[in-house]
Structure 1
Amino acid sequence: MKTKLLFLALIFSSMCFSQLDDKFYQPGKTMKPIENMEYTEFSLPVENDTVTGIFIKSAVKPKATVLFFHGLGGNVSSYTFMTKPLAEAGYQVLMIDFRGYGKSTGTPTHQNIQKDGQKFLEYALSLPETKGKPVIIYGASMGSQIAAHLAKNNAKVVDLLILDGAMSSHADIASHFSPENAAMIQMIPFPYSSKEDIKTLTMPKIFIHSAGDKTIPMAQGQTNFNNAPEPKKFITYEGGHLEGMVKNQTEIISNIDELIIKK
């Protein structure tokens, strides 16, 4: 019995130390062609690594700057189907690949992604193109966690937060896929979660989710929404995970336009 308890304690200790980083991040190194968009590439030194990304120019005079954080797989080139409509609607978009993704070096962890995201935000705000323009943070799927966390830590410079196909926390999504280990997973001290960070955010917020999402249950997006203070908007659509910009682009863009103008 003592041996079994020791074994379980060692497993739990290991889980707490790593916070299951390798389960949450699946970097893609192969870059897909980015077509029919004007963009430039950038790179930023962070500790001993380099993180990279792209700056997509607006098709017209930009209304605002969108900082886009993608999901657990692929890289920036895998998510341009979500950002191209924004550029076409008059938003300039900066997309980052955290450590290990795309052309970025290193290995992603919950902890170093915090540093990557803060460095990215500060870089974006230092650009002449972003001066005097509203700032939108857009988190897709896994990117929702760092998006909400950055919005909390930089609330004075963020004009709108968008969480698309968002999980409520690392622990909640891990528990969803591994219900037999839920009790242990919920005890792991993950460093941040959107459902907690969202509670203090008073800037406008848009939540996008599909009831048919088989990757992240809409109930987790609803938890984020319920925890968030006003002003806020929940937009639904019929389709799969992160298909909002494909299935319901008009409503999403019009709500972004409206909230940015009100702000």
Structure 2
Amino acid sequence: MKTKATFTLLFVLILQLFNAQMDDKFYQPKKELKPIENLTYENMSLPMDKDTITAIFVRPSAKKPKATILFFHGAGGNVSSYTFMIKPLVDDGFQIVMVDFRGYGKSTGVPTHLNVAEDGQKFFDIITKREDVKNTKILLYGASLGSQIATHLARANKDKISGLIIDGGMSSFADIASAFTPQFKDMIDKVLGNVYSAKEDIKFTQGLPKLFIYSKNDKTVPYSQGELIFANASEPKQFLEFSEDHLLAVKEKPADVVKAVESLLK
């Protein structure tokens, strides 16, 4: 009887989580910013409804950047947790805008699937109208969870960008949840199946150059999810494989990553 009662309580808790689309399980923001060293950047604040989202605009030493990369980071931390990923690209001449959605870093509010998608498009519209951005080529870079919004934005703005980078990205919110709780897969699919997903949005990026970066030793996102998104993507596309853990391609193969990103512009 005790086991049955425990299972019933667990089931009720899971239903409550699902009713909120498990937002608090996907988004794990941190407010404290680590020191950002050896990078020249500008702090930005953008109003979103009653909240404010913040970003950093990182500039290369070159006067004319090769392109502008809009970088969407993963579920945990904030922009300062991911600057190691962009340093080689900045050194190579790219200017990069890294955004903290609601709840992350200095941004106010609470992140949800809905407001991240809405804020992402508003952020894109504002940034691409800037004088120092609008005459450059635009690349979208999604790291881990950030791949969902990056691919969603690529679908909606395909004709305004020059390429999409997915680094360790999950195939969908439902797929990653099911990977860790397979016993609830059917329920997860019913609740999260209609939330925007990289594996579906990628189908609508025809003609857009795409780069996929994955490791078979990734302990966070199954390699098979990267294979699925890649299979659903149309040409031109390329797959860069490395052997380190999640999001560490830039530490193992920095020159290869830079070269692959540069190739999106050709």
Q: 2:248 aligns with which of 239, 243, 247?
A: 243
Alignment of 1:94-173 (within 5 A): 94-173=97-176
Mark the runs of 5 or more structure 2 residues left unpaired by the alignment: 1-7
SS of the aligned residue for 2:196 comes to: coil
Residue in structure 2 matched with residue 193 of structure 1 by the alignment:
197
Residue in structure 2 matched with residue 18 of structure 1 by the alignment:
20
**Cα RMSD over matched residues?**
1.9
The residue identity in structure 2 corresponding to 1:59 is S
Q: 1:225 aligns with which of 230, 241, 245?
A: 230
The residue identity in structure 2 corresponding to 1:90 is G
Q: Distance in 2 between matches of 1:233 and 1:46?
A: 35
CA contact (8 A) 1:52 1:96 kept: yes
CA contact (8 A) 1:41 1:53 kept: yes
Give the drift of 1:77: 0.4
Residue in structure 2 matched with residue 215 of structure 1 by the alignment:
220
Give the drift of 1:8: 9.6
Residue in structure 2 matched with residue 27 of structure 1 by the alignment:
29
Spell out, residue by residue over 1:206-236, the C-alpha distance to the aligned partner (whole angstroms, 9 max, x if none): 0000110010011101110000000000000
Q: Distance in 2 between matches of 1:66 and 1:117?
A: 14
| Number of residue pairs the alignment of both structures matches | 258
The residue identity in structure 1 corresponding to 2:155 is K
Q: Distance in 2 between matches of 1:25 and 1:15?
A: 13
Mark the runs of 5 or more structure 1 residues left unpaired by the alignment: 1-5
Q: Could you tell me the TM-score, scaled by structure 1's length?
A: 0.93
SS of the aligned residue for 1:208 comes to: strand
Give the drift of 1:15: 4.3
Bigger mean CA deviation after superposition, 180-189 or 192-201:
180-189
Residue in structure 2 matched with residue 67 of structure 1 by the alignment:
70
The residue identity in structure 2 corresponding to 1:21 is D
Q: Distance in 2 between matches of 1:239 and 1:10?
A: 38
CA contact (8 A) 1:210 1:237 kept: yes
Give the drift of 1:7: 8.8
Give the drift of 1:183: 1.6
Give the drift of 1:9: 9.2
Q: Could you tell me the TM-score, scaled by structure 2's length?
A: 0.92
